[in-house]
Structures are given as C-alpha cells and as structure tokens.
Amino acid sequence: MLVTLNEVLPGAREGRYAVPAFDTREDVIVRAILETAEAERSPVIMMTLEYDVQGNGLVYLPGLIRAVADHHDIPVVLHLDHCWHEELVYACIDRGYSSVMFDGSKLSFDENARITGRIVKRAHPKGITVEAELGFVGGATLDGKERAESVLTDPRDVRKFVELTEVDALAVSIGTAHGVYKSEPKLNIERLKEINEISPVPLVLHGGSGTPDDQVRDAIRNGISKLNLYADVRIAMGRGFQEAAGKIDRPDPLPDVLFQPIKDAISQVVRQKIHLTGSNGRAPGGGPADETPPTRAAGRVG
C-alpha cells in the first residue's frame, strides 16, 4: 500500500527502530526489495535519485512502483531522494510520488529554508511529505567522483529550520558519507543525541551503506528513524551479475535464469538491512518484532 513518511516514521521514532530506504532503478531491483520486505513484514521506502528520473525515467520508474505498491500489503513509500532542482521536485509531485526530498544542503541556511518551505507549501496540500537536509553528507557521486567533505549538522539550526519550513523529516550529517568508504567512519553519536532532543520531526541518516552495524544500531537507538541505502545494493547487484554470467550456457539465456542470481543477491542484502534496522515485523498485521510493538496501520495515499 502506498503511504507517506508520516505513516511510517513517527512510529519508528517512538519504537526506536528505523525504516530502510533503498534507492532503486530497474524492475529486478524493485521486485527484489518489495518481495523481501513483504516476506519480512517490513515497511519500506522506495527511492529514486535525480539521476534515475531523467528523460523517460520519470515515467517508467515511479509508474512501476505506484503500479505494484498496492499489490503488497505492507507500507510502501515512493520517495524522491536527493533532488537539487526545485522544478524536478514539482514534476515528481505531479507524477504521484508520496514523498519528496529537496537537498539544499549546499545552500545557505536561509536559501535552503526558503526553497524547502516553497516545496512544502506545494506538497502538503496534495498529501505528500517532504524531507530536507541540514549539514552536508559528502562522499562519492554515482560516477565515482569525490564530493566535498561532510559538514556536521549544527543542533542550533534544527528547530528554527523545521519551524520555518514545516518539513516532515530531516536528514542530518553525523559522520557518514555516500558511496563506498575508503576507511571506517566514526559516527558522532553525541551530536545526534543533541539533535534528536531538539528536533520536532523524525531524523534521517544518509550514507548508510558500509557503515558498521554497531554504529548503525547506536544511531537508531539515539534517534535515526530512516536509513538510506544504495551502495550495498549495487555491490550485491554486481556480485549477482558475476554469478549469473558464469551460469550462461546458451546464446539465448532465459531472463529468469539470468536475473535470478542478481535478485537473490539483492534480496539477501535487503533482508540483512531490514533486520539491522529492526523493521522486520513492523508492518500492520506483522506481529511483534524484537521487544517493541508494531506501528499503527498506515494510511493510503492517492
């Protein structure tokens, strides 16, 4: 069922678990994520990057996810991730996304708040939630080039930003980076605690791939309600592709034989992340998970 961030993140914050959020692109990735999440009775956030919705991607990818969301009886959020262009955010709102993110983290505080606030005013009347970012999560771009160094979120900015913009979720920078790590990160959990005490809205951790499990769990215990993941899925996809290539024994391989190792590898990673975040069993009707109760039933969008 298609829902917004407001149907999954407040319960996660209260229950001290996180909802896994996966950037996705092709049918085999979408299917692997959704079928695994349903098997684990986990809510899930399906994300597309600005890179993925260029040209026909804006039609194909959200169209696919919206078409299959109601087939799965778990909460599914269709979310635009890391969009730097305001007009593209509006295009995604018009295409039926249930949630969007404007990334103004490179802008000044005032400009970030001004644009984010405009987007909220466009999204909220349509029942669409909005995520923003304060601080800056650096790392590598999708083409492997290095971005600028991360800048930690200043707790003093958080309440003012949320009040000015009325965003529904806030991505914070506490020491993660995008892409594949060159050295082990060290999350600033004390900074996260300060931010969580102040923030009126659930917090998001970007750059979750490759972050050591113990640090991820510590971050979730101290306020992270949404964990963004992509590089780990791509690594699994590459591993599955290599396995599939080794099994080709005919010039016209059947698609199911070719794609199955890729799907299996992605599913394995998705399952591990679901258990890492503690979201397994949290979907309505999923029964108890670990030590905290499941969230309330999620509402539909559209």
Residues classed as catalytic: 81
DSSP secondary structure, the chain, as one string: -EE-GGGTHHHHHHHT--EEEEE--SHHHHHHHHHHHHHTT--EEEEEEGGGGSTTHHHHHHHHHHHHHTTSSS-EEEEEEEE--HHHHHHHHHTT-SEEEE--TTS-HHHHHHHHHHHHHHHGGGT-EEEEEESB--BB-TTS-B-PPPB---HHHHHHHHHHH--SEEEE-SS--BSS-SS-----HHHHHHHHHH-SS-EEE---TT--HHHHHHHHHTTEEEEEE-HHHHHHHHHHHHHHHHH--SSS--HHHHHHHHHHHHHHHHHHHHHHHT-TT-STTS--BTTBPPPPPPPP--
